[in-house]
Structure 1
Amino acid sequence: MLPVFKLSNGPIPLLAFHGIGQDHRAFKPLAQALEGRYAIYAFDLFFHGAHTAQVTDDVLTKTRFQEIIRSFLDQHQIGRFAVIGFSMGGRFALATAETFTQQLDELILLAPDGITISPWFRMATSTGFGRQLFRYFLKHMPLLHRFGMVFLSLGLLNRSVLRFAESTLATPEQRESVYNSWSYFRKLHFNHPKLAESLNNHPVRIRFFVGFFDQVLPVSFIKPLTRRLQSYELTVLKTGHNRLIEKVAKLF
């Protein structure tokens, strides 16, 4: 099981999945805004927050994750619910929506990862050699920084993305968490036509919130899914990536 924290009370259970380098506390501003409307159950994802259990497999499969969610729903006697995911947590929100569509009332995605796969993520995780190279660079951060500056000068990397990467990889503990997370979550990807068809066939309210200045997961990254959806809501807020949950909380 994953550690889960109930942050607010309300008639609608809302399963919440945080981003890379965060934990359940990332949703506290949202919990304050939604108190009385949603009962927010915020998970600490693998290698984050209060999750200290050793994983026993090399990669997280959607089947295994869905078993975890099914067990949680059974334990709390939850029938219908909503789900929200920010950044990396978007993968887990989508994996939940994919299996539990018939029980889902609302899908809220904040700058979600998992729709468009970053070429950097694919390069770092898709092969054993790529993962070894990724770990090597994480152990030699000055070299990684120099490569980042070269890619920046060539126009292959945005400055805000470089700043986000450096802040996310600032300490040895953060670097270990990022490596473990990227490697372990690499199989959480989706068949966009199949997922869209399932969502279109059920009365799920789908809401996207993205940052106008977000270069980490920009609005264009949701298009492979949104172009196949019959109905969805899109809100673009004047913010970057890191403050998106806070801005959405103020909007609510």
Structure 2
Amino acid sequence: MQTAFLTYRSSQVHYCWFGTGQKLILCLHGYGESSESFHFLEKYIGTDYTLIGIDLPFHGKTQWNEGLQFSVADLVTITETLHAKYCDGTQRITLLGYSMGGRVALQLLQSLAGKIEKTVLLAPDGLKVNFWYWLATQTYIGNRLFGFTMKHPGWFFSLLKAGNKLKLINQSVLKFTRHYINDTTVRRLLYERWTTMRAIKPNLAFIKKLIPAHNLPVRLLYGQYDRIIRPERGEKFRRGIESFCTLHIIQTGHQVLQEKQVKEIIPLIES
């Protein structure tokens, strides 16, 4: 695996690339992860593909100095710059997005449909608008409350516990939330990451028109026991585009991007 920095405006965007194949895959990681999450794929498809992974703002080694702003134009420019660097900008790209990276992949599909070969989404965010994420990132009052809560989380913990006791919040979501707001640094990063990514909000209705218009295959992979991002979201998305969009469910939870799942991931890339 090789790594480098792309200078973009006043920032340094860290990325890695691996594999030697002619086909190009752009890898988009999940929340709290980095481009290196995809490295295990090299030994399985590295002779046929070159894989490029970007560390998104406030993730990995990227030094993001544009404040809490990351626009669709920023995402597209960074992608097109790397595209031109590694295949002169003419070869079509396969998008591979996991969790939060699935939402980013959908945004790129919407913005660069003519340059996309295929889209593979692993337990993807972005197929349903989460009310709490919308409130925390798309409204002024919600974002202020979000910022306050990340500095003073006591009241929120109490609310979660009460919701769990009343069976309004399941245990998996409670554990997931505790994990991400149980530490001062983790809470700061949560606020920065969520707020910075707020402009990445793909238009699903428009995307579902683009898919048949550009003959774009979409492959969805979910964990049957995922309590964070449910397979039902994918089932709803593929209605009306079934001939282009397939959905696969495997016996795992949210962590579908693991080497032990490689036998399920690789056919989706190659099909």
- Cα distance 1:32–1:141, how it changes in 2: closer, same or farther (>3 A)? farther
2:239 aligned residue: 227
Is 1:5 the counterpart of 2:16? The answer is: yes
What corresponds to 1:86 in structure 2? Answer: 98
Aligned counterpart, 1:209: 221
Contact 1:16 1:85 in 2 (8 A): yes
SS of the aligned residue for 1:106 comes to strand
Q: Measure how far apart 1:243 and its partner are.
A: 4.3
Q: Which amino acid aligns with 2:113?
A: T
Distance verdict in 2 for CA 1:186–1:205, change over 3 Å: same
2:149 is equivalent to residue 137 of structure 1: yes
Whichever residue aligns with residue 165 of structure 1, its letter is T
Counterparts of 1:74 and 1:196, CA distance in 2: 27
Q: Give ranges in structure 1 of 5+ residues lacking alignment.
A: none
**CA-CA distance at 1:215 after TM superposition:** 1.0
Deviation at 1:196, TM superposition (A): 1.0
Establish whether residue 29 from structure 1 lines up as the match of residue 29 from structure 2.
Answer: no
Residue deviations 1:156-203, cap 9 Å, x none?
A: 222112212222334322222211111111122122221111111123
Instruction: Quote the residue 2:4 is aligned against.
Output: none
Aligned-residue RMSD, C-alpha:
1.9
CA distance in 1, matches of 2:259, 2:173: 20
User: Per the alignment, in what secondary structure is the counterpart of residue 198 of structure 2?
Assistant: coil
With structure 1 as the length reference, what TM-score do the two structures score?
Answer: 0.91
Alignment equivalent of 1:67, drawn from 70, 74, 77: 77
TM-score of the superposed pair, with normalisation by structure 2: 0.85
Alpha-carbon spacing, 1:223–1:235, altered in 2? closer, same or farther (3 Å): closer
Q: Is the 8 A contact 1:30 1:245 kept in 2?
A: no
Contact 2:238 2:246 in 1 (8 A): no
Show the counterpart of 1:182: 194
Identity %: 25
The answer for unaligned runs of 5 or more in structure 2 is 1-7, 267-271
- The answer on 1:240 being equivalent to 2:242 is no
SS of the aligned residue for 1:102 comes to helix
Moved more, 222-231 or 190-199: 222-231
Greater displacement, 240-249 / 105-114: 240-249
SS of residue in 1 equivalent to 2:176: helix
Q: 1:130 Cα shift?
A: 0.8
d(CA) in 2 for partners of 1:246, 1:132: 39
Contact 2:101 2:124 in 1 (8 A): yes
> Which residue does the alignment assign to 2:5?
none
Q: Following the alignment from structure 1 to structure 2, what is the Cα–Cα distance between the partners of residues 128 and 113?
A: 22
* Distance (whole Å) between structure 1 residues aligned to residue 223 and residue 19 of structure 2: 25
User: Does the CA-based 8 Å contact 1:13-1:39 persist in structure 2?
Assistant: yes
Greater RCO, 1 or 2 (C-alpha within 8 Å, sep 6+): 1
Residue type of the partner of 1:175? R
Query: 1:138 touches 1:144 (CA, 8 Å); kept in 2?
Result: no
Q: Which amino acid aligns with 2:69?
A: V
Whether 1:43 and 2:54 are equivalent positions in the alignment is yes
Give the count of matched residue pairs. 251
Structure 2 distance, partners of 1:238, 1:105, is: 28
Name whichever of 202-211 and 167-176 sits farther off. Answer: 167-176
Instruction: Tell me the distance in 2 between the aligned counterparts of 1:65 and 1:245.
Output: 25
- Show the counterpart of 2:29: 18
What residue number does 2:128 align with?
Answer: 116
Q: CA deviation at 1:29?
A: 2.5
Structure 1 runs (4+) greater than 3 angstroms displaced? 243-248
Question: Take 2:237 and 2:60, find their aligned partners in 1: how far apart are those partners?
Answer: 30
Letter in 1 for 2:248: T
